[in-house]
Amino acid sequence: MATSSHAPLRSSDQAAWGRVLTLHSFVERELALALQRQHGIGLSEYRSLEHLHHSSTSELRMQDLADRVGLGQSSVTRLVGRLETAGFAFKDLCPSDKRGVYAVITDEGRQRYQAARATYAEVLSSALNSFTADPELGPTVQALRATQA
Amino acid sequence: MATSSHAPLRSSDQAAWGRVLTLHSFVERELALALQRQHGIGLSEYRSLEHLHHSSTSELRMQDLADRVGLGQSSVTRLVGRLETAGFAFKDLCPSDKRGVYAVITDEGRQRYQAARATYAEVLSSALNSFTADPELGPTVQALRATQA
DNA sequence: AACGTTTGCTTGTACGTGCAATCAACTGCG
DNA sequence: CGCAGTTGATTGCACGTACAAGCAAACGTT
């Protein structure tokens, strides 16, 4: 097939994105399964706890949390609702802007997060490692690991 | 436009995967919105048509399609059902193994796929390009584009 | 040939998510 | 002030997906 060499030809974008999709669906499924079975929490719950735990004030505005976990407003409303039911977080009204709501992590939430943390790291690394022998996906994993912000 | 979500400090795999997640959620949402609004089809429908269109026999076994689009069996049963309702595909029994089912693309399915193809490519490239200025995600996009199988 | 096992797909059901509509609270402009 | 427009979050609703159970067909052993 012919490839142009001038302006960034991005027919390769589709191939590159296809590799991301394959990686993504496999790794996320592994992570979700492991977290659910070993710690009884979903991936979105885990990631919410992660962001809340690392927040300097132990809390995050709903929209802020939504942006960080890559979900919409309504999804986060219900996500924090689930965390609240589970005792991992609660909602707190913002005093300066009475429309605003803070999601606040509880001690129990921190404990669950810390317990799940090792599982997450291990499953992620092992899932990524499982591709290193793959002639197509191996280089992609390597490239991702090489990039650092 | 996605600004990098400043994730907490993590070891390299987790940081790398965090970048993938940010990219993935943004790009997929852009693609899904554009395909739905401009062509009336969902992302999974588009990708199914893509695989069926490029199949040398214009057909794929259900499980084969499931693997390619990264979904489970039951999801693909219903996905092909939707394609059938829309007139983009139909199911055909496998003569040699009466348990097996082929999903077969129709002419109308090919036409819709070909119409949507340009949208997909353009939105994908522009979505990826929107990160090139980002100090965290820019290098990741570059790395992904550089990898080729 | 008959039996238990495996394979391929479908159905029942529950859940997480998105979109649109809604409502309350803040903002700005007259 | 007062009123329109905007912002932050929640609710109604519909949809796509996963898991598990179910079912039919193929396979392998004897």
pLDDT at B8: 43
Query: How close does chain A come to B31, measured CA to CA in Å?
Result: 12
Q: How far is Cα B132 from Cα B145, in angstroms, rounded to an integer? A: 11
Which of B48, B53, B120, B125 should we substitute to test contact with A (largest number of A Cβ atoms within 10 Å)? B125
Q: Based on the number of CB atoms within 10 Å of its own CB, is A100 exposed (0-12), middle (13-18) or buried (19 or more)?
A: middle
* Interface residue ranges in chain A relative to chain B, Cβ cutoff 8 Å: 10-17, 19-27, 50-51, 53-54, 67-68, 70, 120-121, 124-125, 128, 135-137, 139-140, 142-149
Q: pLDDT tens digits, residue range A47-60?
A: 999 999 999 999 99
Which residues of A are less than 8 Å from B27 in CB distance? 17
Cβ distance A149 to B139 less than 8 Å, yes or no, reads yes
Which residues of B are less than 8 Å from A123 in CB distance? none
Q: Answer yes or no: is pLDDT of B147 > 70.
A: yes
pLDDT at A149: 65
What's the mean pLDDT when you consider all of chain B? Answer: 91
Query: How close does chain A come to B96, measured CA to CA in Å?
Result: 31
Q: How far is Cα B141 from Cα B128, in angstroms, rounded to an integer? A: 7
pLDDT at A1: 44
Q: pLDDT tens digits, residue range A15-36?
A: 999 999 999 999 999 999 999 9
Question: How far, in Å, is the CA of A118 from the C1' of nucleotide D5?
Answer: 48
Q: What percentage of residues in chain B have a pLDDT greater than 70?
A: 92
Cβ-based neighbour number of residue A62 at 10 Å: 18
Of B140, B135, B141, B143, residue with least CA distance to B6: B135
Cβ distance B143 to A144 less than 8 Å, yes or no, reads yes
CA distances from A116 to A46, A113, B142 (A): 8, 5, 32
Q: pLDDT tens digits, residue range B74-115?
A: 999 999 999 999 999 999 999 999 999 999 999 999 999 999
Question: Residue A15 corresponds to which tokens in the numbers above?
Answer: 């191939």
What's the mean pLDDT when you consider all of chain A? Answer: 91
Q: Which nucleotide is nearest to B100 (CA to C1')?
A: C8
Consecutive H or E run containing A22: helix A11-39
Which residues of B are less than 8 Å from A68 in CB distance? 5, 7
Q: How far is Cα A82 from Cα A44, in angstroms, rounded to an integer? A: 11
The footprint of strand C (CB < 7 Å) covers: A 42, 44, 70-75, 78-79, 82, 96-99; B 29, 33, 61-64, 73-74, 76-78, 80, 91, 94, 97, 99-102
Question: Residue B114 corresponds to which tokens in the numbers above?
Answer: 């070909």
Tell me which nucleotides of strand D come within 7 A of a protein CB. Answer: 7-12, 16-21, 24-27
Cβ distance B13 to A128 less than 8 Å, yes or no, reads yes
Q: Answer yes or no: is pLDDT of A10 > 60.
A: no
pLDDT at B149: 65
Residue type, A129: N
Question: Residue A141 corresponds to which tokens in the numbers above?
Answer: 């994993």
Length of chain A: 149
Q: What is the mean pLDDT of residues A111-116?
A: 97
pLDDT band of residue A6 (cuts 50, 70, 90) is very low
Query: How close does chain A come to B51, measured CA to CA in Å?
Result: 12
CA of B2: which chain A residue's CA is closest?
Answer: A67
DSSP state of B11: -
